[in-house]
Amino acid sequence: MRDDLGNTLKLVIFDCDGVLVDSEPIINHAHASVLTACGYSITEQDLVARFCGVSDREMLEIIEREWGRTLPAAYAERVGAVIKAGFRQSLTAIEGVAEVLEALSLPICVASSSTLEQIRAKLQLTGLLQRFGENLFSATMVARGKPAPDLFLHAAQQMAVVPDCCLVIEDSPAGIEAARAAGMTVIGFSGGSHCGRGHGAVLQEHGATLLIEDMRQLANALAKLTQSVVR
């Protein structure tokens, strides 16, 4: 990854959960409650610490392997019902993100560990879907999810932009590592309600080029990155 931004930025790639929509608490509450009811005791905080940014498929594979048992066939349905109810009741866009998206002059897209259907639903509920059109990319489209670089490379290819001209906005260590492995510049975002004290430092340890804790700081962060090219 070239932190000096030898090429001009031409695309901003946003993660979805915890970056565009404040969905992580709802999702983690659902998984923690259903997993615990199934006999695998785990807290929402543990899920954030271990699996933030990782796809459900990969997370559940790890849990089943560690547990030595297979989750019930109805697990996905049960979790999905809890999440859907939570989204209808309390899902919101990250504060300030709609204005930030409106002001951006660069092309934008979403690259998320969620399924395409889930991405669309969350963006639709929060009024952000029209900002991205069909520029939505899911981990289900590639062989390996984050922290592998596959999803970000796929998004860049579909948007016809070379990796070192891409900027990624991520809230998870797995996402930061994926962006770095893809050869992209990455800003760590620690403004989601699931981000505890020290979350930004963790993102920096995993390779975030810059950190922001309020999405409205993105314009200044972009200006700093642009200035680094001029120098």
Residues 67 and 146 in one domain: no
Going by C-beta distance under 8 Å and a sequence separation of 6 or more, which residues neighbour residue 213? 189, 190, 191, 195, 200
Number of separate domains in the chain: 2
| Domain termination residue (choose one: 90, 115, 140) | 90
Q: Quick one: pLDDT at residue 48?
A: 87
Cα–Cα distance, 129 to 132 (Å, whole number): 6
Chosen domain end from 90, 112, 139: 90
Q: Which of 39, 56, 90 is the last residue of a domain?
A: 90
Domain shared by 184 and 112, yes or no? yes
Give 10-residue mean pLDDT values along the chain (231 residues): 58 97 93 96 91 88 95 94 93 96 95 94 96 96 95 98 97 95 96 86 93 95 74 40
Q: Which residues are catalytic?
A: 15
- Identify the CATH number of the domain in which residue 162 sits: 3.40.50.1000
Range of the domain at 52: 24-90
Q: What is the pLDDT of residues 48-76, one digit of tens each?
A: 889 988 888 899 999 999 999 999 999 99
Domain identity same for 122 and 207: yes
Structure tokens at 60: 């559940």
Which pTM does this prediction carry? 0.86
The CA distance from 163 to 178, in Å, is 12
For the domain that residue 80 is a member of, what is the CATH number?
A: 1.10.150.240
